[in-house]
Amino acid sequence: MYILTIDVEDWYHLINNRYFSNPKNWYDNESRLMKNLEIITSLLEKYNQKASFFIVGWIAEKYPAIIKMLTQLDFEIGSHSYLHQTTRLLNKKAFFADTEKSIKTIEDISGKKINSYRMPAFSIDSTNKWVFDVLSDLGIKYDSSLTVINRRNKNIHPYKIKTQDGNFIKELPVSTFKYLGMNFNSGSGYFRILPLKKIIKSLEKKDYTLLYFHPRDFDSKTPISFKVSLLQNLKNQMGLKHSACKFETVLNNFKFTDIQKASLKIDWENTKDLLF
Ligand SMILES: [Zn+2]
């Protein structure tokens, strides 16, 4: 099973940076989102592939044409928060307000119910697991916010997460690329820097794969900024030259689906509960 997910945010939606994590500063930066999103959607159309797009609510409000375009192309749309803040810095009330605003904004534009969610920066651990209770309260059925970095689990597969209201959130975590005996998040920066042959080999071995990308992962002209460190600029620039070409090869070799369609094929009755 191969699932493809895209986090729809601009190159300046950087977390853990004093300047860029302040939404007031976002207006001062050139948007490169639409151009980059078109690279992705045209490749998906070319290879007849499906994907889930997790949208930052602030983006939906500023560029409603993006939501309309993705809806017209029949891609699944989910929420990627409203203000793209790390969930670790939000209390329950603030997380509820941010998530509710994001869902409402995207639903009002798309005319479709939002069922799927991804937190910014994989920011969940045992200290804020109440986020799943909030997601369930807001009608979210599928989450894709976990990965090996915060679970330390080598065998990534779907989980059920029990919530306070007695429901379950169906968790479809980001999978991993195995390289040099280590596990790396499958997508984004690691996709850009790892050799294509190794990526293909790693994908061939998996029975569950969920890749994630940002539009900026395919932008060879991502701006260099003096507001972030030299190391962060290097990380942001690495592998951009060939990433779209690598992505096309992967699309040409594997058949991808979105979160909701993949969920129909998962045997949730016999899927383990995730215990924090
Ligand atoms: Zn994000």
Which residues partner with 48 through β-bridges? none
pTM confidence score? 0.95
Alpha carbon of 84 to ligand 1 centroid (Å): 6
Mean pLDDT of 14-40: 92
Distance (Å, whole) CA 110 – CA 105: 9
Distances (CA, A) of 228 to 12, 31, 235: 10, 17, 11
Alpha carbon of 121 to ligand 1 centroid (Å): 6
Q: Identify the architecture of domain 2-270 in CATH.
A: Alpha-Beta Barrel (3.20)
Helix ranges restricted to H, the chain: 33-46, 57-62, 64-72, 92-110, 131-137, 148-151, 188-193, 196-205, 230-237, 240-253, 259-265
Alpha carbon of 160 to ligand 1 centroid (Å): 23
Ion ligand 1, residues whose Cβ is below 5 A away: 7, 9, 120
Question: Closest Cα to residue 206, out of 181, 186, 182?
Answer: 186
Q: What is the pLDDT of residues 65-99, one digit of tens each?
A: 999 999 999 999 999 999 999 888 899 999 999 99
Q: What is the pLDDT of residues 227-248, one digit of tens each?
A: 888 888 899 899 999 999 999 9
> What is the identity of the amino acid at 16?
N
